[in-house]
A and B are shown apart, each in its own frame.
Chain A
């Protein structure tokens, strides 16, 4: 049948471009152990550069191509390896993930800042030229794509198998330390693979631009296609990666050809890569525990219970004052901040305590909101059930993935977030395409919390209670288990802990907390839609949580407030919108190495003040306030109450903890 052949052939052309991109991803990952989530974003950014060279500057296509692929891309790759990702491969996976997510967001922001949104066209190479093959028309661009893929495959083969540096690259896959001992230069190897990797991302992006258009997000998301293809080769084998890319291209092409053009099934077309990815992940064998990887880590000190309760009460008092003082529309903003802060609490549990990264946390809030609106049970029971549904969805996502390692979890959650964003939330049974659902504010014991001020205060109360709950967990057996699991999963396993179910439970609990935030958010807004839960929001949640401190509830509170302020700032100065993303993204790149974040620096300032400036203050305060701490929250900035900053160690932290933190900070 002719059309099957036609669609298959078309799919191979797209697959060839995916293969180019994916091989760059595999190259950088295998040689430096840093999975570059921003791989697609680099492709996007450099496609814009290519557009700029050819369309705006009017340079000849070939010259622009040589400049982008031969100069700009390798230079960026070298720079990133040298100054950003160097050494990340040996650290915890979560840090490398956060840093590259930061790059992703930063690049999108930068692109928006340099090339503000406007329709741009990047013509295919030799547009108009083509040949009739059977019943289909093969364009010159498609042929070039295929030729490029073959050239890349052949070039990489020659490089890795026939050159000295290529041999060193393969050696560095196994053991960079050993390579160093034998006189190799792992840094040079790493720089070269990043230079080539980014160049391949650029080539893939440029070749795919006529298909996916010159769009900040669509090109960035190509990392999921590349990742899915690379997973077929377990992120290691280049030939399998090429095969995976071709299969993916053909599947997508078939979807275009054979899926109905309207209705629910039609929406599956853009998420074929995500589905392909899940299928591979489910089929992969369970990873084995490895010995001798991780060492002790340093986290923010856990405040004493009295201090925590005091600070929580302080926050509640401050918010009570605030909601009655500020303008009505700003009251809602405080509610939004509380939503984000609760979602970030779920990340404190998962990432800060547990060491796992989720790129779908706001999607779980979306699941909670959807469940809350659909249930139409505006009471605590409805809220709880919504949270449970989000937790169950979280468990379902985590179950197949957590047999593998943390890296796969994070990447798969990103695919999941895109899947929900593009398909499920827009489906008839959910928010519907461009639609919204109404949600009523909840009642407690028949008393409806109707007014904005009361509802927002209730949300903050929920935050405070959850934060306290989290701190209780952290101090108890579960907290010890989480630390132990991060320090040595193997030891936990040989002591009898079923790591898989433990992690699934942890992930589900975290998704449940995010779902609770979503339910509360639905009530706050009154109407919620798919547009409220875009996958990109989850990336921002993660970055700000880490920047402000993913290991403390204070960090969550600060991060939530900052994320609420972000769109306000962007609206206030639209010309700076992209720049703000760039600042957040690159800020996370700088700060992502220390997940204790800004909050921990504040704790340190607090300790310093206590010891240097007012050594006797603590006793005097104790004498004045027998319950302690209630005043603490109020002496922070007015709109950003600092939970447990000033007196972090009054009776809590132990000296050993503090000492090590000082060393690191």
Chain B
């Protein structure tokens, strides 16, 4: 059953409709993909789910409660965690302190004055995402891919039930992406639900249980990876035509991946 339901959400910025009656859900304990071309409204959907953006219309339901009017921090306290496409690491803190702060925020005021400690140690989280070697560096000096992993570790420190990952693998090389995919599968197996915006189609197709495709703010397809792969609407959204033979310049880096899959 659905942990998160986005119901008929509309977001307008002035005259532009960024998200148009989007309706999708994410199930418990699985990885759900949210894909679509650039500017399709994926990040805006994330902002609506986390409360950073008020929807013009529509509701967001989480754990069967209507959370549309909830402030950002309240959703977070109920287990909604996210990473950012445009990085939001705490640049002036060390990598280790980034994770520590997250743990302290999660622990509440008692933890600030030296009381409670989180169940999972900061070192274990750094190790889990594989960035222990950067622990002492300032977060604004590490490579982008590493900073994305840091955001994931920071997020995990607050013990989320629903993890929203915004293009987590961009900046990672192939081996790192594979390891990252395994980590996601592990996390899902431990009961953490993941909703992921991602451009790397190999990764999406291999780890996601369900996929929703967003184009011009509308959900044009939903289903298992195998169905999405062959869906003509999706092919059109990505390629401009449905049954192409793929003579592409691939300037976004997205299209070749789809092409391989198709």
Q: Are A477 and B138 in contact (CB under 8 A)?
A: no
Cβ contact within 8 Å between B81 and A495: yes
Stretch at the interface among B27-35, B50-58, B186-194, B203-211: B50-58
Closest CB-CB distance, A289 to chain B, in whole Å?
6
Per the bound structure, the CA–CA distance linking A616 and B104 in Å amounts to: 40
**Alpha-carbon gap, A494 to B100, bound state (A):** 15
Of B52, B106, B141, most A-chain CB atoms within 10 Å: B52
- Let me know if B89 and A292 touch, CB within 8 A: no
- Which residues of chain A come closer than 8 Å to B71, judged between CB atoms? 493, 498
Whether A288 touches B112, Cβ cut-off 8 Å, given contacts A295-B140, A296-B92, A491-B89, is no
Contacts of A483 in B (CB 8 A): 90, 92-93
| Residues B88 and A497 in contact, CB atoms below 8 Å apart | no
The answer on a CB contact under 8 Å between A291 and B73 is no
- Which of A295, A494, A656 is within 8 Å of B82, CB to CB? A494
Q: Is the CB of B105 within 8 A of A496?
A: yes
Indicate whether A480 sits within 8 Å of B158 (C-beta atoms), given known contacts A295-B140, A495-B102, A495-B106. no
B77 within 8 A of A: yes
**Do A498 and B90 touch (CB < 8 A)?**
no
- Determine if A477 and B111 form an interchain contact, defined as CB atoms under 8 angstroms apart: yes
| Residue numbers in A under 8 Å from B97 (CB-CB) | 480
Contact with B along A474-495 (1 / 0, CB 8 A): 0011101101101110111111
Contacts of B113 in A (CB 8 A): 476-478
Min CB–CB distance A570 → chain B (angstroms): 39
Contacts A296-B138, A480-B100, A484-B101 given: A496-B92 contact, CB under 8 Å?
no
Known contacts A496-B158, A499-B73, A289 near B105 by CB under 8 Å: no
Q: Which residues of B contact A486 (CB under 8 A)?
A: 92
Docked CA distance A295–B141 (Å): 11
Residue-by-residue, is B76-89 near A (CB-CB < 8 Å gives 1, otherwise 0)? 11001110101011
B195 to chain A, nearest CB (A): 14
Q: A660 — nearest CB in chain B belongs to which residue?
A: B138
Give A298 to B114 CA distance when docked, in angstroms: 25
Please state if A492 and B140 are interface contacts (CB–CB under 8 Å).
no
- A296-B139, A477-B113, A477-B114 given as contacts; is B52 within 8 A of A493 (CB)? yes
- Bound: A492/B157 CA distance, A: 13
User: In this assembly, does A297 line the interface, its C-beta being within 8 Å of a C-beta of chain B?
Assistant: yes
A494 and B81 contact, Cβ closer than 8 Å, known pairs A484-B93, A487-B90:
yes
How many residues of B are counted as interface, with CB atoms below 8 angstroms from the partner's CB atoms? Answer: 46
**Interface residue total, chain A, C-beta cutoff 8 A:** 32
Partner of B90, one of A484, A493, A660: A484
Contacts of B7 in A (CB 8 A): none
Bound state CA distance, A656 and B135, in angstroms? 13
User: What is the CA–CA distance of A498 and B75 in the complex, to the nearest angstrom?
Assistant: 11
Whether A490 and B52, one on each chain, are in contact in the complex, defined by CB atoms closer than 8 angstroms, is yes
Contact of B88 among A288, A292, A496, A499 (CB under 8 A): A292
Given contacts A477-B104, A493-B72, contact A487 B86 (CB under 8 A): no
Are A491 and B138 within 8 A (Cβ)?
no
Q: Tell me which residues from 238 to 267 in chain A have a Cβ below 8 Å from any Cβ of chain B.
A: none
Q: B91 near A: Cβ within 8 Å? A: yes
For residue B92, which residues in chain A have a CB less than 8 angstroms away from its CB? Answer: 296-299, 483, 486-487
The answer to whether B106 touches A288, judged by C-beta atoms less than 8 angstroms apart, is no
Asked whether, in the complex, the Cβ of A488 is within 8 Å of the Cβ of B88, the reply is: yes
Closest to A497 in B: B105
Task: A487 to B91: give the CA distance in the assembly, Å.
Answer: 6
Within 8 A of B (CB), among A270-312: 288-289, 291-292, 295-299
The answer, yes or no, to whether B8 is at the interface (CB within 8 Å) is no
Bound-complex Cα distance A494 to B137 (A)? 23
Contact between chains at B100 and A495 (CB < 8 Å): no
How far is A663 from B152 in the complex, measured between Cα atoms in Å?
Answer: 30
Complex CA distance for A497 and B88, rounded to whole angstroms: 15
Smallest beta-carbon distance A603→chain B, Å: 17
Of the candidates B76, B89, B140, B141, which one forms a contact with A496 in the assembled complex, judged by CB atoms under 8 Å apart?
B76
From the candidates A295, A296, A495, A656, name the one contacting B154 in the complex (CB within 8 A): A495
CB-CB under 8 A from A292, the residues of chain B are 84, 86, 88
Give B135 Cβ to nearest chain A Cβ, in Å.
12
Bitwise interface map of A from 505 to 518 toward B, beta carbon under 8 Å scored 1, else 0: 00000000000000
Given contacts A296-B91, A486-B92, A493-B52, 13 further A-B contacts (CB under 8 A): A291-B52, A292-B88, A477-B104, A480-B104, A481-B105, A483-B92, A487-B89, A487-B93, A491-B154, A495-B155, A496-B105, A496-B106, A498-B74
Chain B residues near A (Cβ < 8 Å):
47, 50-54, 71-74, 76-77, 80-82, 84, 86, 88-94, 97-98, 100-102, 104-106, 111-114, 136-141, 151, 154-155, 158
Name 17 interchain pairs, CB-CB below 8 A, sorted by A: A288-B52, A288-B53, A291-B52, A291-B84, A291-B88, A292-B84, A296-B138, A480-B93, A480-B97, A488-B88, A488-B89, A491-B84, A491-B88, A493-B72, A494-B81, A495-B101, A495-B158
